Amino acid sequence: MPPPRASLASIICPSTPFLAPRLLRAPPARAAPELLCYTHTRIQQHSTKPKRNDRKKKAEKPRAKRPEDSMHSTQMQMLDKFSKACEMRALPEMMAWYPSIKGSSLLSRQDTRRIAQAIHTYLRSNPSRKPDIDPFIERVVQDICSGGLPPSPQANVHILSLFKESKEYDRGIKFWQWLSGKDDTFVDPAVYGAAIELLAYQGNTELPVLEDLYIQALKRFPGTFAEYHLSPDAIVPDRTQPLSIMGIPMSLLQGIMTARVLAHDWKNAYLAFDTALRLHPADLPHRFFEIFMIERSLTEAYTVFLMGCRAGVVFQPGHLTSLLKKLRIAEERTYSLQDRITLVRGMSNAIYAYLECGGTLEGPHIGSLLNAFGALLPLKEPGNNFEGDEAIIRDQIAVTAHRIAASLFEAAMTPHPQVFTALISLAGKLRVPGLLTVSLNDVQSAQIDISDIGRRIVLLAAGDLQDTDLIKQYWTQIASHAEQNAGPITRVDWLTLARVCKRAGCEDYAREQLKTLKHAISTEHELSVLEELNLEQTRRERPLTFVDPTAFSRELDEIIRQTKDIATITMSGQPLDIHQSPFSMVLDPSKPPLATLSDLNVVYDELTTDPHQPPPEADVKTVAQSPTGISLGDLRFQNWVSVLELMAEAERAEAIMEKRVTWAMANNRPLDTSFINSFRSEGAPAESLKDELRSLSELRSEIKRLRAPTGPVENGSSRHAVGNSSWSQRSKRFYTTLAGNTANGSATRTRLSNIEPELTARPTLRYYVSLESSHVAPQP
């Protein structure tokens, strides 16, 4: 046993250790663990002695999984898969995963929003699938009401809009009635806006009630002085800059604007539209514009579409398709060649403006433009041809249409079948066999399938040209195609054969085919074909007011000039400078402006600035612009002028309607509303305000009168509706699915053959500079 250790004090002072300092008398302390040498530490780590307390190592051991941890992990995996299905809009997968995640504590309000948005988007793309997923929609709504899903105002907006678009108004109103009693976790201004739209489309709620609901929403959600900023006479802090005020409920404004349009309260609707353009001149959603394009007259719809293009709003292809369709209808209903060519110019102008704002050119767009050329001249009876000035104009039309298609194909536009079928149809209507031959050769060179519709168009063109051999050739193709697909020849195909054979004078061939292909036609369809063959066909058209071929050529020159700009954008994929290559904002170029721009600018400054506030400090470094390159200061002024023009046009149209209603009632005759589809006012062109008003003060008073808000128009009131009811399809999906994509750059270019040698006369085309567009604001 080792001797005991002596204290340091006894060593230093062995006789009297108690006299040593107290620290020396203390027993020596053990070294701190952190000061021990590395060798000592290693020895301790490799010690074989058992440790009594090894809590640290026990804490480092993995804890055994509890059942609730495994359940949590499984729910996370299922929720992750469900969220991915929502993002992909894969509704079948969503419906399969939904029972597993419903009621989970891991769900958030954003998940509820994703579910409703996915359903809404899916139904917009697949409206025919509505009955299949209706039980799922009802289950989601019930879970929102019962608390199975977290509350989300955005989700409620989607559900209300879904019920509106599917015309299930009762279900939507029932859901809104439940929402109206809930707190702000369920409802926000956008929900009020969606509810107002739903009630407006249903049509059973008076406009004053919807106006009260609008005011109620503003009171409940005041935001940052939202009620003031949404008023017609509000002033933005800086007209040259984007709005910096947050929380202004634009969806609520859209809701009441839609309700006013549907109730034919055009003045307050345009004031709401003007307010939206004042707050967000360059970034409004296209839905603010499309309600006017659907419900208002042609001239107003056209200007509203161009306003959106000027601001840089990227419209869907279906918006342009719908507008072009309206222009085609208007062309067929007018009997003036000058009016018809003006409408064709309007079509090319709309296509160019659509491309300027970033739209995608599709085959139906160019097909509509080329088909419009075929409606310029009246149709001829079988065997008759164009003569004199008509023949000259006919050749001008054929050359221009073919040149437009050729220039676009040279610009690497995809060779859409609609372009070729439009040229084929044009060849038959204008009696130009050379154009038909060239177009059919180009179809073969491009190696595209013109489909059954295209083959029927070839039959019709061959019938107009009385080309029996071509009729037999393409009828054989139709019959062979039906046999290859193991299906019968359709009734439409048989009736088309009967009509073209009657035009070409080869009815015997149609009867022969009825016997040869008796197995491919039902008895009912056979009787329809025989009836068509025995029917007398006569074309009775009102005489057309012609124009001088030279003047008509100048109109065509303008269309060619604009289609060159279209081809340039198609080739480069970039819009042109809107200041260097502007587009017209009105359909009728002869329409006089409201007043001089300088006078309008003076009144604009007076009404949109506060004289008691100093002007905002100019920042020369930052010039806020629209996507089309227009400064926001200029764009706000141009929008203000355009809205004034629209209000003046709406007032004129309402006055015309008043006169027609009075005349119809006095003479016990049906009401004539054909002017709604026209683009010119009755009689002589309307005089502009600058001709009627002799002073600036009179202009100021007239503008204030136009912009003065009126009380809401009640349903059934004496104000007569001037709208587009014949084209209006409320709550129906406005977009159309268009096939094909526009190719740019390195795409293969399709070249069309030259048709000019095939024509009997060659027009001389002259180019000229068009009138300056009215939407270019003056320099201050």
What would the two tokens of residue 409 be?
A: 């194909």
Amino acid sitting at position 683: G
3-class DSSP state of 225: coil
Rounded CA-CA distance 363/378 in Å is: 25
CA dist 729 and 734 (Å) reads: 8
First to last CA, the chain: 110
Segments of the chain scoring below 70 in pLDDT: 1-78, 90, 103, 105, 537-541, 618-621, 673-694, 712-780
Q: Supply 623's token pair.
A: 């010039």
Helices 67-87 & 109-125 angle (0-180, nearest 10): 40
Q: What's the pLDDT score for residue 753?
A: 58
Cβ 397 vs Cβ 480: under 8 Å: no
Q: What SS3 state is found at 338? A: helix
* Distance of alpha carbon 281 from alpha carbon 636, whole angstroms: 6
Nearest alpha-carbon partner for 339 in 290, 298, 295, 385:
298
DSSP H helices, 46-104, are 55-60, 67-87, 91-101
Contacts of 752 by beta carbon, 8 Å cutoff, 6+ apart: 402, 405, 406, 409, 438, 439, 442
CB-based contact 367:402 (threshold 8 Å): no
The Cα 256–Cα 507 span in angstroms is 59
Burial label for 438, CB within 10 Å (0-12, 13-18, 19+), is: buried
Q: 598 to each of 130, 604, 690, 773, how far by Cα in Å?
A: 54, 10, 11, 15
User: What residue ranges do the domains of the chain occupy?
Assistant: 1-38, 452-540
| R_g over Cα of the chain | 38
Closest of 374, 402, 408 to residue 753, by C-alpha: 402
Calpha distance 268→223 (Å, rounded) = 23
Residue 117: both structure tokens together: 């948005």
| Closest to 365 (Cα-Cα) out of 772, 749, 736 | 736
Q: How far apart are CA 28 and CA 5, in angstroms?
A: 10
Instruction: Judge whether 617 and 243 are in contact, CB under 8 Å.
Output: no
Bridge partner list, 631: 625
Q: pLDDT digits over 13-70, tens only?
A: 555 454 455 444 455 444 444 444 444 444 444 444 444 554 444 444 455 445 454 5
- Name the amino acid, one letter, at 377: L
Could you tell me how far CA 248 lies from the centroid of its own chain? 23
Q: Three-state DSSP class for 690?
A: helix
DSSP 761: -
Write the CB contacts of 5 (distance below 8 Å, at least 6 apart in sequence): 28
Q: Name the nearest CA neighbour of 400 among 370, 425, 437.
A: 370
| Token pair in block for residue 563 | 């289609």
Whether 335 contacts 544, CB under 8 Å: yes
HEC secondary structure over 117-168: HHHHHHHHHCHHHHHHHHHHHHHHHHHHHHCCCCCCHHHHHHHHHHHHHCCC
Structure confidence by residue, pLDDT tens digits, 494-512: 999 999 999 999 999 999 9
- Are the C-beta atoms of residues 30 and 48 closer than 8 Å to each other? no
**What is the average pLDDT score of the chain?**
81
Contacts of 326 (CB under 8 A, 6+ apart): 298, 301, 677, 724, 727
Q: CA of 259: how far to CAs of 186, 233, 282, 294, 302, in Å?
A: 23, 20, 23, 13, 21
Contact 678, 334 (CB under 8 A): yes
Angstrom distance (rounded) from CA 489 to CA 376? 33
Q: What is the dihedral of CA 316, 318, 321, 322, to 10 degrees?
A: -110
